[in-house]
Amino acid sequence: MGFRKDFLWGGATAANQCEGGICEGGRGLANVDVCPAGADRNAVITGHKKMLEMDKEHVFPAVEGIDMYHRFREDIRLFGEMGFKVYRLSIAWTRIFPDGDEEEPNEEGLKYYEEVFKECRKYGIEPLVTICHFDCPIGLIRKIGGWRSRGMIDFYLHLCEVLFTRFRDYVTYWLTFNEINMILHAPFMGAGICFEEGEDEERIKYQAAHHELIASALATRMAHEINPDNKVGCMFAAGSAYPYSCRPEDVWEALLTDQENYFFVDVQARGYYPSYAEARLKKKGIFPITEPGDKEILREHPVDFISFSYYNSRCIAAPGRDQEEAGGNLFKSVKNPYLKFSGWGWPIDPLGLRITLNQVYDRYQKPMFIVENGLGAADEPDGNGYVEDDYRIHYLKEHICAMKAAVEEDGVDLMGYTSWGCIDLVSASSGEMRKRYGFIYVDKQDDGTGTYSRSKKKSFDWYKQVIASNGENLQL
């Protein structure tokens, strides 16, 4: 049986982590540009250190990214050579609306993406477009405080309208927000929110989440109206929460963790606030302020498919347990004694992907798309930029096997797979270049040196073979 014939194999990137060229083409400044590398990054991305412009003391890796703004033709050609069926990329909001609130879009920004899409078409690659991969124009943060304000919905929809109309002939797969649950963990990076001293942060985060959920539903409606062939997905950072033990308190805490993340998808896929969220948010007195008609908007415009990133499962213990911590995408959990870890301390759990696929499919019964997965590692290239990345091949192979088992043996409905950072790019959590995910090595180092030249790693040919065999030939 195997994967469906039209399975969408490919790779994923995000504008802010690879384009660079932030002062070119009339582009404006965004939250993602002012997240520095180094010790202050965490305080900035979580909204606890206000940084709305670049200073001289910090390094801002988004300024240059991997210079894809100037090199996209070469990069897409390499994706084509690997046989990509799909390329997931995001739009830098401020290339289209530099301040966020202009009446007219910036033609130069639109032209840029049009060229990107044309290049994809040349190689038969279907674009999968994330409308908002963390970007929020600084102009809108200054004026209305980012997604804490309901006013963001109209600006976002204006962007959507321009994109859906202008790119009608190029794009049919859209994601409304990248890792929408990021808003709870990194609210500045995820939603342009800076906190003031003494604010009720949870209330603000859930209010902002409500605004994004309404925006997502309205964007879904608009996408379908503008082109009935459009397929719109939600996107969340997935990874099942395992209880640390069968002690009921641990099981309960793991359930709460899962619900916290599923909350967003529950709304986007089912069309209403799940009862657990409604009850808990009301009990805490932080249920978001809504407007008449919100319920109908959510109910009438659920997403067509569910996409997610999967890097690791999470292991959860009840508070008070003195367990060693482990890293991981989005937030830390306790160390799972049965797993190995990446160089950045993220658990490696291929079976966890099968578990997650099953849980998500059981819950929603909608087609799924894995739009991020991969191993961040410190590669060591030889003199020609060649990296013998057997460890990456091994990681991907195990995860693709797990995915195959979920499709073949568990019957989940999977549309495609785009591995994260198919070309090396800047890390979202740490701002480093050293943490590499790509099949393509980019000569750019954290100390600012490097030529930006691209070279194929060993995994390049391996992934090419995986795609050519529709996931049947995973051998090294």
Q: How far is CA 414 from CA 49, 357, 368, in A?
A: 40, 9, 5
Annotation marks residue 74 as catalytic: no
- Contact assessment for residue 372 and residue 235, using Cβ atoms and an 8 Å cutoff: no
DSSP string computed for 378-436:
-----TTS----HHHHHHHHHHHHHHHHHHHTT---EEEEEEETSB----TTT--SSSB
Active site annotation includes 179: yes
CB of 14 to ligand BGP, least distance (A): 5
Q: Taking the C-alpha atoms of 316, 320, 321 and 324 in order, what is their torsion angle to the nearest 10 degrees?
A: 80
SS3 175: strand
Q: Which is nearer to ligand BGP, 185 or 231 (CB)?
A: 185
- Nearest approach, Cβ of residue 11 and ligand BGP (Å): 12
CB-wise, 237 or 297, nearer to ligand BGP? Answer: 237
CB nearer ligand BGP, residue 32 or residue 110: 32
Cβ of residue 437: shortest distance to ligand BGP, in angstroms? Answer: 7
Decide if 33 contacts 23 (C-beta within 8 A).
Answer: no
Determine which one of 64, 119, 126, 179 is catalytic.
179
Strand partners, 339: none
The three-point CA angle 294-298-302 to 5° equals 165
- At residue 289, the 3 state secondary structure works out as coil
240 or 309: CB nearest ligand BGP: 309
Q: For residue 351, what are its two tokens? A: 């079976």
Residue from 64, 119, 126, 372 carrying the catalytic annotation: 372
Interface residues with ligand BGP (CB under 6 A) are 14, 17, 178-179, 237, 309, 329, 372, 376, 420, 427-430, 435
> Shortest gap between Cβ of 16 and ligand BGP (angstroms)?
8
Helices 458-468/390-408 angle, 10° precision: 20
Q: Which two tokens stand for residue 253?
A: 């805490």
Q: Least distance in Å: CB of 425 to ligand BGP?
A: 8
Tokens 């619900």 — which residue?
A: 259
Q: Pick the closer one to ligand BGP by CB: 68 or 407.
A: 68
Residues annotated as catalytic (active site), given as ranges: 179, 372
